[in-house]
C-alpha cells in the first residue's frame, strides 16, 4: 500500500463510493442517461466505469502485460490489486525481495490516472501512461 496521501484519499473515496457515476446520476435526475460515458452501451456503475468497461479493461490488460515483462512474474489483474493497491501475496513477497521500490508504484501510477480521469477516454492511451510512468522511474 502506498504512503502517498493523494492515493490514500482516492482509495477512501472508492471505498466510500464518492465517485458520481452515470448510474448514480440517473437516480438523481431521471432525464439523464445511465449508460457508460466511454460509449460501450452498458450501465455505468462504479465497478464498470473503473474496471469492467471494455475501454478501461484494455488499459488494465496492457498494464498487466508491461508489468509482467518488467517484473518477470505473471501479474494477475484483480480489482483489489489494481484499484485498492492490495497486491497478491506472491507478487508482494517478490517485490519486497528483489525489485527496486520504484517498480512497486507502477500499478499505483496507472490507478491514479484511472481515478483522476476516469470519465474521459483520453487517459487510456498507452503513451500517456508510459510518459507518466517515466516521471516516477
- For residue 117, give the DSSP letter: S
pLDDT value of residue 68: 77
- This prediction has a pTM of 0.67
Question: Which position has the higher pLDDT, 47 or 3?
Answer: 47
Average pLDDT, the chain: 73
Distance, in Å, from the CA atom of 25 to the CA atom of 12, rounded to the nearest integer, reads: 20
pLDDT tens for residues 71-91? Answer: 777 767 778 777 776 666 655
What ranges do the domains of the chain cover?
5-136
Amino acid at each position: 500500500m502506498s504512503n502517498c496521501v493523494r492515493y490514500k484519499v482516492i482509495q477512501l473515496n472508492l471505498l466510500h463510493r464518492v465517485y458520481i457515476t452515470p448510474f448514480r446520476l440517473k437516480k438523481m435526475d431521471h432525464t439523464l442517461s445511465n449508460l457508460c460515458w466511454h460509449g460501450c452501451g452498458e450501465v455505468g456503475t462504479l465497478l464498470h466505469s473503473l474496471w469492467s468497461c471494455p475501454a478501461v479493461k484494455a488499459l488494465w490488460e496492457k498494464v498487466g502485460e508491461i508489468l509482467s515483462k518488467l517484473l518477470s512474474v505473471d501479474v494477475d489483474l484483480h480489482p483489489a490489486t489494481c484499484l485498492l493497491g492490495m497486491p497478491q501475496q506472491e507478487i508482494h513477497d517478490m517485490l519486497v525481495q528483489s525489485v527496486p521500490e520504484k517498480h512497486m508504484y507502477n500499478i499505483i501510477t496507472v490507478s491514479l490516472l484511472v481515478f483522476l480521469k476516469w470519465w474521459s477516454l483520453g487517459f487510456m492511451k498507452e503513451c500517456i501512461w508510459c510518459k507518466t510512468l517515466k516521471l516516477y522511474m
